[in-house]
Structure 1
Amino acid sequence: MPKVVIESKMYHYAAGVPPQNNIQCAIVFIHGAGGSHKHWAYQTTALGKKFLTIAVDLPGHGNSEGKPYNKIEGYADFIFDLTERVLGTKFVIAGHSMGGAIAMDFALRYPTKLNGLILIGTGARLRVASAILDTFAAGKLFPDLVNYAYSEAASPELIKQAKWEMENTDPSIYYNDFMACDGFNYMERVQAINTPTLVLGGAADRLTPPKYSQYLADNIPNSQLEIIEQAGHMIMLENPQQTNTCIEHFITSMASTV
């Protein structure tokens, strides 16, 4: 995996590079709470044939060093530092769930760095149930979370992999991430996002239901909404083909308007 050093810490990311380095656009993918670059495997592989795709491991996640933050702004600043070193050019930022919150904060504070914004399975506010926070705070896991994250149409293999990932992730990572989510409330701020935006919601998402996506699309200027069928919260894993089609169409349509 490619890596970059920031303030003496090693951070990793997965990358997809088009043949002959024929790069039309760069997309930076940001995973959700407790996740890693692996949640974007279908995107870095398929979309990486046409675009430069980068899926980061946030601090303390996956193969990256450092410690997880308990505030969204900390993660957004990390993305700024990483992209300045790895890209140094404008890009499209795509975030899932907590990653969507990071992407929104980035779009508000660093708008000149972006060509586009993609929000997947996320919301302008991400409250977390106290029972979930208390469980992770006590150093325990909350396995029922996996069942809420996937739709009934999800394959048994996806569910099995998700449970394995949770069992092998330190509860403190989830705790910090969910604290960051719980403190995120941009319902009165998303109207100030000026970056062209694609909002993707899962029709069967129980964690950030379609009404969350509708709110974003209704309140972010120059945005468009797509609801993905046969998908719960983990849209990009449950229905990667439709997810990728929407992303590619969004980026292509942006390029055609320039």
Structure 2
Amino acid sequence: MTSIIGGSFQEVRPGRTLHAAVLNKGVQTSLFFLHGSGGNKEQFRFLWEELLNEPLNLIAWDAPGHGASPDLRDPAAYAGTELLADARALIARYGTARNILVAHSLGTRIALATLAEAPEHFVGAVLLGPPPPQMAPVGKGALFGPVLGRLPLPVLELLKPLLARRFKRLAWAKGADLELIAHEQQIAKRNTLFVMQALFAGLLVLDPAQLAAIRTPVRILAGAEDALTPPAAAQALAAVLPAARLTVLPGTGHQIMLEQPEQTLAALRAAMAGD
């Protein structure tokens, strides 16, 4: 695929290399973009292009087995605790006086855990299509239900076309741009079910007490036509975050930053302004 955001390989932790894009202008506001399962940093390309010439540092990366980052053969490498450690390391490396998290889908869990650990390092967060705060690991009601966690990989690979069609039906709004959908589907062919299975098996568990203690302003955008993480999931999350503001976008599915870049950008600007 043609890269808009670009990037290079970086050793984020000893023995852990990811593909990351860093636009460091030496200013005091930094935006960190965290994609979801099966996603990649290029899904934030519309936002990146709009913000490119503004006085902001922009940092985005591909999780292991996603985008341009290497595949890792150890399932434990995809555990939520490992992804959280990656985010923690990159934020420590590139963080400034004013840091804002922009996260999508499963990436919102990493963002929330990061906020809970060190709220003083962030002035805001924008969460897009988040799962509910108590989403269970695979086999206990996760995104694709028990099938992803219980079937052996060879069988899952045979079912991959069916799973792809199911994802399309659940994730995109009925009126979504067909060229955009086709583009994202082509990129998604790079994702392996080994990685997806490992991600959900090692899902990060959020502590309700820690979530309730987050006082950082959090803006949540949910798609009214999102059947993957429906608005009810975002409502459940907003209910446990003291400083959350929830907006449900009509005619929008799960891929909010792609389907509604202007609405996403508006929420991000509000977060930067502290409104």
Q: TM-score range by the shorter chain?
A: 0.7 to 0.9
Q: 1:75 to 1:130 in 2, by over 3 A?
A: same
Note the C-alpha offset of 1:190: 1.9
**Do structure 1's residue 233 and structure 2's residue 254 form an aligned pair?**
yes
Contact 2:220/2:246, CA 8 A, preserved across alignment = yes
State the 1:113 CA deviation.
Answer: 2.4
Equivalence for 2:147: 131
Shift of 1:146: 2.4
- The residue that corresponds to 2:175 in the other structure is 153
Match of 1:220 among 225, 229, 241: 241
Task: Please say if 1:35 is aligned against 2:39.
Answer: yes
Contact kept, 8 Å, 2:64 with 2:78, in 1: the verdict is: no
Q: Give me the whole-angstrom Cα distance separating, in 2, the residues matched to 1:191 and 1:42.
A: 32
In angstroms, what is the RMSD of aligned CA positions?
A: 2.4
What is the alpha-carbon distance in structure 1 between the residues aligned to residue 226 and residue 146 of structure 2? 20
Task: For residue 4 of structure 1, give the secondary structure of its aligned residue in structure 2.
Answer: strand
Residue 62 of structure 1 is matched in structure 2 by: 67
Give the equivalent residue in structure 2 for 1:49. 53
Structure scoring higher RCO (CA < 8 A, sep ≥ 6) equals 2
Q: Which moved more, 1:39-48 or 1:60-69?
A: 60-69
Contact 1:196 1:223 in 2 (8 A): yes
Calculate the TM-score normalised by the size of structure 2: 0.81
* Residue identity in the other structure for 1:146: K
After TM superposition, list the pairs within 5 Å mapping 1:164-243 onto structure 2.
Answer: 164-181=186-203, 184=205, 186-187=207-208, 189-243=210-264
User: Secondary structure of 1:77's match?
Assistant: helix
Tell me, yes or no, if the aligned pair for 1:9 and 1:65 is still in contact at 8 Å.
Answer: no
**How many residues end up aligned between the 2 structures?**
250
CA contact (8 A) 2:31 2:101 kept: yes
- Distance in 2 of aligned mates of 1:16 and 1:43: 13
- Aligned-pair CA distance for 1:239: 1.0
Gap regions ≥5 residues in structure 2: 1-6, 137-141
Contact 1:90 1:115 in 2 (8 A): yes
Q: Aligned partners of 1:11, 1:107: CA distance in 2, in Å?
A: 22
**Who is 1:4 aligned against?**
10
**Are residue 80 (structure 1) and residue 84 (structure 2) matched?**
no
Correspondence for 1:113 among 121, 124, 128: 121
Do the aligned partners of 1:146 and 1:162 also contact (CA within 8 Å) in 2?
Answer: no
Q: How many Å apart are 1:187 and its aligned residue?
A: 4.7
Task: Determine if the alignment matches structure 1 residue 14 to structure 2 residue 12.
Answer: no
Q: Distance in 2 between matches of 1:98 and 1:136?
A: 23
Q: Structure 1, residues 2-41: CA drift from partner, whole Å, max 9, x if none? A: 4422314432223456xxx484521101000021111111
The question of whether the paired residues in 1 share the 8 Å contact of 2:28 and 2:96 is answered with no
**Identity fraction in percent:** 24
**Structure 1 length as normaliser, TM-score?**
0.86
User: C-alpha deviations, 1:70-127, integer Å up to 9, x for none?
Assistant: 4322211111112222336551112111100111111112323222222110131334
